[in-house]
Structure 1
Amino acid sequence: MKNTIIVVLLATTLRLIFARYTGLGIDESYMVAASHQFAISYFDHPLASWWLELGSRWLFGSASPIVVRLPFIMLSAVSSWLLYLLTTRLYGARAGFWAVVAYNISPVFSLAFGSWVLPDGPLDAALLAAAYALSRALGVADGEAEPQTRWWAAAGFFAGLAMLSKYSAALVLLGAVFVLLTDPKARPQLRHAAPWGAGMLAVLMFTPVLYWNARHGWQSFDYQSGRALGLRLHPLAPLSIWGGEALFVLPWLWLPMMGLLLRALRRGPAERRGWMLSCLAILPVVLFSVVSIWSSTRILYHWAAPGYLLLLPMLGHWAAGWRPRWRNGIALFSALLLASTAMLIAAEVSFAVIPYSAIPAKPGKSPLLQAVDWDSIAPEIPPGINAVAALRWYDAGKIGYALRGRSTIVTVFGADPHEFGDSAPPFSLLGKNVLLIAMPGNATKISAFYAPYFKSLVPGPTLTVMHHGQLLLAIPSFIGTDLVAVPK
């Protein structure tokens, strides 16, 4: 246990440094800029991640990167401990230690979900807690264990928290239902009220999200389900999806996890520990790869991460029995690789340690645009401007975060405003003076299209995103006086 605590403390320290010295990414900036108040749900995801960053802002009176990221960093330490508890129960303390090591050297879990303002951080913690409670309720453990009915209430509660974190939690929870139906030792519990009560509790906790969607035209459900639509037949797409997921997890962790998943499925319910974990993991791991065969939407590699998260206990058990010299060397190499990469990014963002000539990117194409806050544009906003309107939600997010602390409203003109369509709807700007962001596309065409919506539309300043004297992005703009109609 002592070594596990040391790993968690070292990883948490790394995350705190990384969070302090890097700007918010595109998704993070968007979440902070678009959320102005507590609500029972939001456009992209349920309430958990939004409430965490809003609560931290309210508590500390700041929206600095370290403040809005702090709840997610603390949750990553909680997730590490929950993973240790789950793995120790199923496979023993040594396996628990190595599962925690794997979690904290994996880029997607350790840095992305462990420090960024994303719904995946609270999702991971809730899923691990739900899986632990499920193992207690079903009596799944290393050796003989009796089912503990009182744990069903905890399983339902944490399942509800998972659903309040991200919709994809439903895939893991469906796996839990499959465990109940297929495990001969678990199936008799369906004759009792406890598991049904747990399911009802989870649904009850999710009803605010259902209510919000009903009041908002089911826009969140439409958006998320629409990612599986379209037609772009590409039969080899799963290979690229799995390759990307392997890079996010780390290839030398991904390969044994996939092997362990297949072995657990082959053994079936007779080996209850592996069967429970594989049932919880299988849908996220497989579904998005299958959808990629036909979906016209780009499948993001981190969507399947909940499945890999539930495979970490098996990986920890496998690693505990592997050759110590190889295992320890790979773990140390992975930790140093992750830490050095994170520190290099932080040093470059805060101190520009890499010579500019070593980053051959034209303005607008630099990878630093994601990691650098666009604060340099704030003093360039002309006086008399009531609002800034971007044409893309992610540009609005970066601009909105740069204007934090100011009364200037930020919104999106276009068909895809995301949360800005609810938090700052364009109709609320009628009669106001708006700075129109003229990207992407041809500025002349943008001016001609939007001119009829204002009493006048004239060229505005070119906003510049700077990084230690280097121009990263030049943003053309127009000043619109008195918005007379909502742009279509």
Structure 2
Amino acid sequence: MTPSFNQKSASHAKRQKDSLHNGNNSLDSNQSEQKQWRWFGLFLIAYFVIWSIAPTFFASSVPFDVSEGISWGSEWQLGYYKHPPFSSWVLYSFYQLFGHIGPYLLSQLYVLLTLFFIYQLGKKVWSHEVALLGSALTLAIVYYTYPSLEFNHNVAQFPIWAGLYLVFYQALTRNRLTDWLLLGVLGGLGMLTKYSVVFLLLPMAIYLLLPKQWPLLKQPQPWIAIFVMLAVFAPHLYWLVMHDWLPLGYANGRSHDVGEAASSVSRHFSWISFIIAQLVAHIPLLLILALNRKRLFGVSAYKHSLPAGASLLWYLWAAPIGVLVVLSLVFGVGLRDMWGMPMWALSGLLAASFVVPATQLLTATKLRKALAIWLTLATVLMVVYVGFGDKIRHKPSRMQWPEQALAGQAQDTWQSLSSCPLDSVSGDRWLGALVAINSGFPSQMISGPASHSPWMSIERLQKNGTLVMWEDGDDDILLPLLDEITVVGDHQDNNAASSDRLIKKQGQWQISWRDPKADTPLTVNWTAYVPSRCVQSPQ
């Protein structure tokens, strides 16, 4: 029986109504999703503001690597005995601009820049939704929370690695000269930040050597990128040649110090503990995914859903670990856990790519809630540990030292002995750096070979003297430049005023900890080498 005209019209009207209803539901869902993302964005703003500002109020001193980096950066060298110079320059600049808040602000800006690069990459490979979720989930990697407080060469690599992922992908897919130029610049800056970026650059080079990429190597763009990278790195390379490759010797020593009693055989298996440490850093992300596992692709379905370019990201995610395993297993390089800090910028994005599209709205909501809980917990733990950890454990961490009191004591002691300004501090690296960054930036003469402090010289010491400090019980201080200078004891009278001799004064400071229940005060021994022309007359 053929339906009547009226029946057809009614059926068509019903379909239109259902379609409009579904469209309205979809629109409402999108608006609700955007609103939720806006609220989550406000939460992240609050999170980053707290992590940028709170440590300044709760900590009584900056972390060790921060003080050391600031002190190095004030010398504006092309290299330092431990590391390349770029992150120290940036850190010193931020400290000069913003004071004690500068290092913490810089760390969080580096984390934000990392998330931005991952978001841009995710949009190109998957979608806006996956990119947004993936960049947020990056914060579920432990390295991007508490360890990021200490701006060091590992934290400084965060956006370098993320940026290299992005520009390498763009260079391969678009083959524009600008992308290759950016690849060269970022690669060069990475090498100026920390040499371990080679663990990413090497897999990239290997990928370009695959037969599929040979046509690309016949074009000038990749070679231009290599030239730019070398040009950016060239000044530091010159410094390395002129300073006997100091940082490489330091890095080699560090790799052999892993597990101080470790034998050469055990270093071949240091990759096992290294990978375990990286898995531990992923625990928050893995827990979040486990709680939402029913809404994730299975492995088989995931493989069939991969877009073009996703396999490259998986390669870039896994290959650096492969390089490190080979270095450890084959060459016996001892791996340090923190070398893995910058390697996981892709983890959150790759995790987000497992979300089944049909459940994306609901899953994103649940993942945001779980991530908010994790970040809130991490923030509370950070505030408690930094602000009250020493009073809970009755043992100070590096961020709970009496930095200002120490610097004030050093300045008062020097001014009581010398009419000349404090030109340099020496001895213990930690104490010296804390005094230096709080006392108008006198140079720091680092304990060890004279080559560790190329800005110091016998002539400079002879002219300006120095203040040497070390903790009570730590007498292992090596300052070879002082051994070559004539020093007069503080009770001797050798017509010092008419010579270039240094007058030696000694003493000890007792500085209270901020924890009133601390058993003993901080005891610091000091020796002042005062130029004879600057010696203060007795009052």
- Give the shorter-chain TM-score range: 0.7 to 0.9
The answer as to whether partners of 2:417 and 2:530 remain within 8 angstroms in 1 is no
- 2:201 pairs, out of 173, 176, 179, with 173
Q: Which residue of 1 aligns with 2:239?
A: 212
Aligned amino acid, residue 422 of structure 1: P
The answer as to whether partners of 1:80 and 1:103 remain within 8 angstroms in 2 is yes
Q: Which residue of 2 aligns with 1:240?
A: 273
Which aligned pairs between 1:200-279 and structure 2 lie closer than 5 A?
200-229=227-256, 232-234=264-266, 236-250=269-283, 252-253=285-286, 273-279=309-315
Deviations 1:205-258 (A, max 9, x none): 11111122222222123322443457532155333222323334446449989x
Q: Which residue of 2 aligns with 1:301?
A: 337
Q: Which residue of 2 aligns with 1:475?
A: 523
- 2:509 pairs, out of 462, 473, 478, with 462
CA distance in 1, matches of 2:139, 2:150: 14
How far 1:29 moved relative to its partner?
A: 0.8
Q: Which residue of 2 aligns with 1:351?
A: none
Aligned amino acid, residue 399 of structure 2: Q
CA distance in 1, matches of 2:193, 2:513: 35
How far 1:46 moved relative to its partner?
A: 2.6
How far 1:319 moved relative to its partner?
A: 5.0
- 2:160 pairs, out of 126, 129, 141, with 126
**Larger deviation, residues 278-287 vs 42-51:** 278-287
1:345 aligns with 2:385: yes
Q: Secondary structure at the match of 2:488?
A: strand
Q: Which residue of 1 aligns with 2:408?
A: 379
1:182 aligns with 2:217: no
CA distance in 2, matches of 1:416, 1:291: 31
The answer as to whether partners of 2:114 and 2:159 remain within 8 angstroms in 1 is yes
1:76 aligns with 2:111: yes
1:315 aligns with 2:362: no
Identity of aligned residues (%): 14
User: TM-score, with normalisation over the residues of structure 1?
Assistant: 0.77
How far 1:303 moved relative to its partner?
A: 0.8
Q: Secondary structure at the match of 1:437?
A: strand
Q: Which residue of 2 aligns with 1:105?
A: 140
The answer as to whether partners of 2:51 and 2:379 remain within 8 angstroms in 1 is no
How far 1:135 moved relative to its partner?
A: 1.5
Q: Secondary structure at the match of 1:30?
A: helix
Spell out structure 1 runs of 4+ moving beyond 6 A.
254-257, 293-298, 320-323, 449-453
How far 1:304 moved relative to its partner?
A: 1.7
Aligned amino acid, residue 219 of structure 1: L
Q: Which residue of 2 aligns with 1:436?
A: 468
CA distance in 2, matches of 1:18, 1:90: 36
Aligned amino acid, residue 220 of structure 1: P
Q: Secondary structure at the match of 1:479?
A: strand
CA distance in 1, matches of 2:450, 2:151: 21
Aligned amino acid, residue 161 of structure 2: L
Q: Secondary structure at the match of 2:444?
A: strand
How far 1:467 moved relative to its partner?
A: 1.4
The answer as to whether partners of 2:183 and 2:225 remain within 8 angstroms in 1 is yes
Deviations 1:123-162 (A, max 9, x none): 22233223212212222xxxxxx65455222222222222
Q: Indicate how the Cα distance of structure 1 residues 400 and 283 shifts in structure 2: closer, same or farther if over 3 A, else same.
A: farther
- 2:74 pairs, out of 26, 31, 36, with 36
How far 1:198 moved relative to its partner?
A: 1.2
Which aligned pairs between 1:9-158 and structure 2 lie closer than 5 A?
9-21=45-57, 22=59, 23-58=61-96, 60=97, 64-113=99-148, 115-139=149-173, 147-148=175-176, 150-158=178-186
The answer as to whether partners of 2:72 and 2:80 remain within 8 angstroms in 1 is no
The answer as to whether partners of 1:107 and 1:248 remain within 8 angstroms in 2 is yes
CA distance in 1, matches of 2:276, 2:458: 41
CA distance in 1, matches of 2:508, 2:107: 37
Aligned amino acid, residue 222 of structure 2: P
The answer as to whether partners of 1:400 and 1:410 remain within 8 angstroms in 2 is yes
Deviations 1:29-74 (A, max 9, x none): 111123324333333333321221233344x3x5x22124433332
The answer as to whether partners of 2:134 and 2:352 remain within 8 angstroms in 1 is yes
Q: Which residue of 2 aligns with 1:143?
A: none
Q: Secondary structure at the match of 2:508?
A: coil
**Larger deviation, residues 431-440 vs 299-308:** 431-440
How far 1:87 moved relative to its partner?
A: 1.5
Aligned amino acid, residue 379 of structure 2: A
Aligned amino acid, residue 16 of structure 1: S
Deviations 1:342-400 (A, max 9, x none): 2223443xxxxx693x3243xxxx32x33445211123231226466554433432343
1:410 aligns with 2:444: yes
Aligned amino acid, residue 275 of structure 2: W
CA distance in 1, matches of 2:334, 2:403: 26
- 1:370 pairs, out of 380, 386, 399, with 399
**Two-structure CA RMSD over aligned residues (Å):** 4.0
Aligned amino acid, residue 396 of structure 1: G
The answer as to whether partners of 2:271 and 2:335 remain within 8 angstroms in 1 is no
How far 1:163 moved relative to its partner?
A: 2.2
The answer as to whether partners of 2:73 and 2:89 remain within 8 angstroms in 1 is no
User: TM-score, with normalisation over the residues of structure 2?
Assistant: 0.71
CA distance in 2, matches of 1:85, 1:69: 25
CA distance in 2, matches of 1:54, 1:391: 21
Q: Which residue of 1 aligns with 2:189?
A: 161
Q: Which residue of 2 aligns with 1:398?
A: 434
The answer as to whether partners of 1:131 and 1:155 remain within 8 angstroms in 2 is no
Q: Which residue of 2 aligns with 1:142?
A: none
Give the structure with higher Rg (CA).
Answer: 2
Q: Secondary structure at the match of 1:198?
A: helix
Aligned amino acid, residue 385 of structure 2: I
Q: Indicate how the Cα distance of structure 1 residues 451 and 469 shifts in structure 2: closer, same or farther if over 3 A, else same.
A: farther
Deviations 1:412-453 (A, max 9, x none): 3334985xx13445763236554432436466x979x99997
Q: Which residue of 1 aligns with 2:260?
A: none
Q: Indicate how the Cα distance of structure 1 residues 47 and 478 shifts in structure 2: closer, same or farther if over 3 A, else same.
A: closer
The answer as to whether partners of 2:465 and 2:530 remain within 8 angstroms in 1 is yes
How far 1:194 moved relative to its partner?
A: 0.9
Q: Indicate how the Cα distance of structure 1 residues 197 and 253 shifts in structure 2: closer, same or farther if over 3 A, else same.
A: farther
Q: Indicate how the Cα distance of structure 1 residues 294 and 434 shifts in structure 2: closer, same or farther if over 3 A, else same.
A: farther
CA distance in 1, matches of 2:139, 2:514: 30
Q: Indicate how the Cα distance of structure 1 residues 96 and 225 shifts in structure 2: closer, same or farther if over 3 A, else same.
A: same
The answer as to whether partners of 1:227 and 1:295 remain within 8 angstroms in 2 is no
CA distance in 2, matches of 1:311, 1:183: 28
Q: Indicate how the Cα distance of structure 1 residues 409 and 129 shifts in structure 2: closer, same or farther if over 3 A, else same.
A: closer
How far 1:26 moved relative to its partner?
A: 0.4
The answer as to whether partners of 2:427 and 2:477 remain within 8 angstroms in 1 is no
CA distance in 1, matches of 2:473, 2:186: 46
Structure 2 residue runs without a partner (length 5+): 1-33, 258-262, 291-295, 490-503, 533-539
How far 1:339 moved relative to its partner?
A: 1.6
CA distance in 2, matches of 1:297, 1:29: 28
